[in-house]
């Protein structure tokens, strides 16, 4: 109890120091405004509660989505669209079979916002894949659970989490350890910013994918040997991205959570001269990591309609732009897109900051995009097709 309270106090003090007081810029100091998110969210969970905060937050959001849907269906126009989409979904269920078994209130809110049949079909297919992935994960864990249950029946089992001579390190201890490292990074390490202001330009499934990538980015920074001070700027607290993050991390709005989330722009938080926007559409190639600069990563997932939105935004705001030396350092395969998820971009920056070696940093680029792997995959496909053709020809010659 004492350690938990002291950690909360240190974390709050670190946020107050790093956000409200002093930022050093070229041997001079600028006083910045207090930029920690102070808005009281409706679904913020309190510490030391008896109910699991994850279940409580999920239940609250489900109630919120149900109320929104019932309020929306009071309009006769939306009611007619709702009945029309129900028939369309039943047709897709029997024709393509790529429709989730359960369509939640949240799914209906996203479907009613869609304007084309292709958007609805792609969203239902996305939800179907997520459902199948969860079912397959459950099937894989069932044998492990049966094995653990059978092992628990034997009282003399020696191993991890059973009879052992080693001290057990609990998850809460590991969380406090990682959080303490993030607190130190908030005080002493440079900042990296995620620009979360692209939510209107993304489809619903892209927004959910963006939330997942932001979660993986926070996790990658949390477990890295040399973490940085991470910021989520231009965050819409009532938007889909922050709602999905809140469902996964119920403590994200707690004052002692080691993450800076603000609705303000990075222009109001940092010195404009120190900002560097990372965009693949820039002509300037990044050569090394400069700890005196603040690098901005556009939190956007644009798989369906890729556009140079981040380039246009940075140019309009007068911010310098750079890009990773992907083409100069790696041999890309034909047809490989040079777009990377947000968590891989952050991992590259973290390793570059720690080692200042591009070869080590760019190991986070998926191997399937590189020339050697794509050529090997193409050769395997051709060999497989050749075997199939030989089988067909041999069966034809017999007749």
List Cβ neighbours of 213 (8 Å cut-off, separation of 6 or more).
299, 301, 341, 342, 343
CA pair distance 334, 378, nearest whole angstrom: 11
CA pair distance 204, 192, nearest whole angstrom: 26
Written as six digits, the tokens of 34 are 């207090």
Q: What is the largest CA-CA distance in the chain?
A: 88
CA pair distance 354, 190, nearest whole angstrom: 12
Written as six digits, the tokens of 100 are 């989730």
Query: Is residue 105 a contact partner of residue 66, using CB atoms and an 8 Å limit?
Result: yes
Over the Cα atoms of the chain, what is R_g? Answer: 25
Cα-Cα-Cα-Cα torsion 129, 133, 136, 140, nearest 10 degrees, comes to 170
Q: Examine the residue annotation and report whether 302 is marked as an active-site residue of this protein.
A: yes
CA pair distance 323, 279, nearest whole angstrom: 5
The burial class, CB within 10 Å (0-12 / 13-18 / 19+), for 230 is buried
CA pair distance 156, 168, nearest whole angstrom: 18
Selecting among 155, 302, 351, 357, the annotated active-site residue is 302
CA pair distance 324, 118, nearest whole angstrom: 34
Sign, CA dihedral 116-117-122-128, equals positive
Residues with catalytic annotation? 302
């Amino acid at each position: 109890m004492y350690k938990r309270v002291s950690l909360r106090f240190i974390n709050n003090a670190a946020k107050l120091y790093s956000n409200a007081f002093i930022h050093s810029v070229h041997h001079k100091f600028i006083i910045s405004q207090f930029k920690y998110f102070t808005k009281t969210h409706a679904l913020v969970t309190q510490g030391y509660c008896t109910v699991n905060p994850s279940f409580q937050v999920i239940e609250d959001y489900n109630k919120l989505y149900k109320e929104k849907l019932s309020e929306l269906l009071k309009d006769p126009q939306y009611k007619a669209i709702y009945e029309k989409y129900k028939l369309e979904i039943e047709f897709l269920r029997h024709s393509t079979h790529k429709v989730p078994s359960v369509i939640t209130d949240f799914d209906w809110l996203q479907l009613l916002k869609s304007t084309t049949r292709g958007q609805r079909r792609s969203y239902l297919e996305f939800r179907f894949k997520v459902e199948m992935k969860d079912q397959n994960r459950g099937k894989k864990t069932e044998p492990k659970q049966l094995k653990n249950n059978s092992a628990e029946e034997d009282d003399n089992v020696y191993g991890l989490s059973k009879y052992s001579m080693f001290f057990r390190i609990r998850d809460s201890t590991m969380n406090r350890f990682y959080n303490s490292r993030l607190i130190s990074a908030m005080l002493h390490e440079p900042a990296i910013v995620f620009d979360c202001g692209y939510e209107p330009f993304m489809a619903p499934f892209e927004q959910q994918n963006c939330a997942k990538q932001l979660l993986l980015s926070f996790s990658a920074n949390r477990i890295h040997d040399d973490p940085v001070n991470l910021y989520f700027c231009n965050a819409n607290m009532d938007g889909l991205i922050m709602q999905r993050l809140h469902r996964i991390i119920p403590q994200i709005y707690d004052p002692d959570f080691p993450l800076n989330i603000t609705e303000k722009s990075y222009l109001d938080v940092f010195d404009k001269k120190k900002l560097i926007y990372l965009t693949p559409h820039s002509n300037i190639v990044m050569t090394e990591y400069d700890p005196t600069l603040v690098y901005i990563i556009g939190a956007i997932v644009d798989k369906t309609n890729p556009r140079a939105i981040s380039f246009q935004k940075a140019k309009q705001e007068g911010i310098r732009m750079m890009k990773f030396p992907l083409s100069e350092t790696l041999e890309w395969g034909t047809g490989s897109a040079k777009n990377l998820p947000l968590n891989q971009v952050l991992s590259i920056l973290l390793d570059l900051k720690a080692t200042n070696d591009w070869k080590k940093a760019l190991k986070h680029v998926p191997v399937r995009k590189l020339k050697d792997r794509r050529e090997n995959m193409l050769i395997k496909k051709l060999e497989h097709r050749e075997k199939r053709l030989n089988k067909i020809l041999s069966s034809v010659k017999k007749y």
